[in-house]
Amino acid sequence: MNNYLSRFDLRTIDELAPSGEPERQNYYMMVVRKILQAKFQDRMASGEALKYYGAERLQELTEKQAVGYAHIATFGCQMNARDSEKLLGILEQIGYLETDSEDADFVLYNTCTVRDNANQKVYGRLGYLQTVKRKNPDMLIALCGCMMQEQAAVAKVKKSYSHVDIIFGTHNIFKLAELLYRRLTGGKLIADVWEGTDAIVEDLPVERKYPFKSGVNIMFGCNNFCSYCIVPYVRGRERSRKPEDILDEIRRLVADGVVEVMLLGQNVNSYGKNLEHPVSFAKLLRQVDQIEGLERIRFMTSHPKDLSDELIQAMKECKKVCNHLHLPLQSGSSRILKRMNRRYSKEDYLALVDRIRAAIPDISLTTDIIVGFPGETEEDFEETLDVVRRVRYDSAFTFIYSIRTGTPAASMEQVPEAVVKERFDRLLSEVQKIAGEVCGRDTGTVQKVLVESPDDHQEGYVTGRLTNNTTVHFPGDVSLIGKIVDVRLEESRGFYYMGQPAENMEG
């Protein structure tokens, strides 16, 4: 057993490891690759590889000089999705091939804990993975992400899911190669979760999901402590990346074919406040707008309390900034907003929407709303409906309040489930009714569409997005993917359009 390991001098390997990052991780990626190559050769020699992979997959692995298949499942928000691209970058550097299937040599779940159903999904899938691993005892299972920052979740995994091999958190994703090395060289369960960090490790490999668009982290963590929210506890304090690092990354992405970036942070409007040389988000946006070859800029998420007039002006003037703003409301009741620690009132929010619409009249607004926050009365809920009717959102993500242990709201008096459910249904139907009315407002016009994929439902069609984020389906082929084309919006079908390429229309 572990024949392949005896060919390596593990002590020397550790002694030679650089101490600085990212050099240290690049080193471990190389070492792990060599170890897994040796292991793969042993399995080839014994015939085990053929038995396990079958002829076709084995041929793919040998042709691509790969060490096995890896699968990453992402459970959370865009921040998690971006982390998964970094994790996949590391795994591919090690020599894994990505696969959609969980029947893989390395399976990684990047978890989310923002609401309890996110946690339950992970436990459910972990149970299923146990049966997969029984068939392939060599399989490695790793868990990372926000849920792993919670001690109770880690304890539960250790107790009930002993088939998990590696656990790490949100602060040390860059360390995946080193953790994998520890696991391969003898460790049983490798658990390494950091409580927090000041460090931002730049320049590790990244494997993007889309060639033409990309998320770009501009900051990590959150300092807002909304009373219902677990994110500040699992993502740590706010840290902004330096503008030069962000701009360099975007320039490199553009050189590599990216035309749209999504600037990511839990509260992008407070970007840059903690930098050595403070910079506002509005200034950053203007600099990103100057990057040649970049076509579209999106950002997520904006906290209403920090959305400045300077930013509204920058959004208006920057040509590449998309005509869409996600502005989480959470509740329309000033009383509830206070208990949520959101630090704006219903009136502040509505006045902000007025200022935004005065500057950018056709902007599409979307939002997040929580129903059933502790202490929410029928009157409070009516206030939320009132804001929804006044703002008329293009779409809204509606959530049932979920108790997060350790947050202030968890110990407040909860609203009965049946009441919450009934309010949730009323809100959802109001949101959908309004979205159906406003989403079609550009019918009959020609608009720029960034083509993203073949249409799932119709042969010979492609699917893309308007700058305001609405989806459009129109006749076209895959050569259009990643391109921005003029499309006449012929028909609105509630939340999306059917269109025709504008050239065809003109002759």
Q: Which residues bind ligand SF4 (CB under 6 A)?
A: 222, 224-226, 229, 231-232, 266-267, 303
Minimal distance, residue 111 CB to ligand F3S, in Å: 7
Query: In whole angstroms, what is the distance from residue 199 CA to residue 483 CA?
Result: 37
Report the DSSP beta bridge partners of residue 261: 214, 297
* Of residues 77 and 275, the one with the C-beta less far from ligand SF4: 77
Query: In whole angstroms, what is the distance from residue 296 CA to residue 450 CA?
Result: 9
State the amino acid at position 221 in one-letter form. Answer: G
Minimal distance, residue 305 CB to ligand SF4, in Å: 9
DSSP letter (8 states) at residue 271: T
144 interacts with, out of ligand SF4, ligand SAH, ligand F3S, none, CB within 5 to 8 A per kind: none
Minimal distance, residue 237 CB to ligand SAH, in Å: 14
Report the DSSP pairing between strands 106-111 and 68-74.
parallel
Determine if 485 is a binding residue for ligand SAH (CB under 6 A).
no
Burial 7-35 (b: 16+ CB within 10 A, else e): eeeeeebeeeeeeebeebbbbbbebbbbb
Minimal distance, residue 228 CB to ligand SAH, in Å: 4
Minimal distance, residue 92 CB to ligand SAH, in Å: 29
Determine if 114 is a binding residue for ligand SAH (CB under 6 A).
yes
* Of residues 301 and 395, the one with the C-beta less far from ligand SAH: 301
Query: In whole angstroms, what is the distance from residue 311 CA to residue 326 CA?
Result: 14
* Of residues 24 and 335, the one with the C-beta less far from ligand SAH: 335
* Of residues 145 and 374, the one with the C-beta less far from ligand F3S: 145
Report the DSSP pairing between strands 471-475 and 395-400.
unpaired
113 interacts with, out of ligand SAH, ligand F3S, ligand SF4, none, CB within 5 to 8 A per kind: ligand F3S
* Residue 487 near residue 496 (C-beta atoms within 8 A): no
Determine if 298 is a binding residue for ligand SAH (CB under 6 A).
no
Element (H, E) at 69: strand 68-74
Query: In whole angstroms, what is the distance from residue 299 CA to residue 321 CA?
Result: 9
368 interacts with, out of ligand SF4, ligand F3S, ligand SAH, none, CB within 5 to 8 A per kind: ligand SAH
Interaction pattern, residues 382-401, with ligand SAH; x per rule: CB under 6 A? -----------------x-x
For ligand F3S, the binding residues (CB under 6 A) are: 76-77, 79-80, 112-114, 146, 231, 234-235
* Cα 271 → chain centroid: 18
Q: Binders of ligand SAH among 219-238, rule CB under 6 A?
A: 228-229, 231
Query: In whole angstroms, what is the distance from residue 160 CA to residue 392 CA?
Result: 46
CB-based closest residue to ligand F3S: 76
Query: In whole angstroms, what is the distance from residue 351 CA to residue 78 CA?
Result: 28
Q: Is 202 helix (H, G, I), strand (E, B) or coil?
A: coil
Minimal distance, residue 229 CB to ligand F3S, in Å: 9
* Of residues 214 and 266, the one with the C-beta less far from ligand SF4: 266
Which three-class secondary structure string do you get for 348-376?
HHHHHHHHHHHHCCCCEEEEEEEECCCCC
Q: Which residue has the tokens 């329309």?
A: 332
232 interacts with, out of ligand SF4, ligand F3S, ligand SAH, none, CB within 5 to 8 A per kind: ligand SF4
For residue 423, which phi and psi values (nearest 5 degrees)? -65, -40
Determine if 368 is a binding residue for ligand SAH (CB under 6 A).
yes
Determine if 239 is a binding residue for ligand SAH (CB under 6 A).
no
76 interacts with, out of ligand SF4, ligand F3S, ligand SAH, none, CB within 5 to 8 A per kind: ligand F3S
* Residue 121 near residue 75 (C-beta atoms within 8 A): yes
**Interface residues toward ligand SAH, by CB under 6 A:** 114-115, 228-229, 231, 266-267, 301, 303, 328, 330, 368, 370, 399, 401-402, 404
